[in-house]
Amino acid sequence: MKGSVDGHYFEFEGEGKGKPYEKSTFRVTKGGPLPFSFDTLSSAFKYGNRCFTNYPEGMPDYFKQAFPAGMSYERAFTFEDGGVAAASGHISLEGNLFTQKSMFHGVNFPANGPIMGKKTIGWDPSFEKMTVSNNILRGDVTMFLLLKGGGYHRCQFHTSY
């Protein structure tokens, strides 16, 4: 992933062992240490990555059906404190490995807020409402970052797949 948050440029890489709900390793290759909460970025490549969703038996999995060529997405984020962000990515299958190239750009995060203050501890589980509009699969969801010491920080996602 490459991107910036309030003018701070960063790049990082990650890898896993084929078990997306278990441990993955991420390392900042440029711009470290990050002066903001890493959780903010994770919805663009980890939690919220539709190719890793488990569906009930018999339900079509349109995201996995896109492989090996892959799928792309664009996502807009609106945080309750006025912060906004945009992310995009393309996920493909190379051999037996998922490969993702993504971008994330965020601005207007308050210096004393939960994002820049690194006060988050992950995303609360959620569900996404998906609809087809003009031949594009669109997703909308209200997500909540969990805060250290309790509480939540709301963020609205609008995604085009």
Q: What is the pLDDT of residues 92-141, one digit of tens each?
A: 888 888 888 999 999 999 999 999 999 999 999 988 899 999 999 999 99
Place of tokens 């996602």: 157
- Confidence at residue 52, expressed as pLDDT on a 0 to 100 scale: 74
Closest CA to 108 of 77, 152, 87: 77
- Confidence at residue 48, expressed as pLDDT on a 0 to 100 scale: 58
Comparison of pLDDT for 22 and 67, the residue scoring more: 67
Give percent above pLDDT 90 in the chain: 63
The domain that holds 155 is classified in CATH as 2.40.155.10
Tell me which residue range forms the domain holding 6: 2-160
For the chain, the domain total comes to: 1
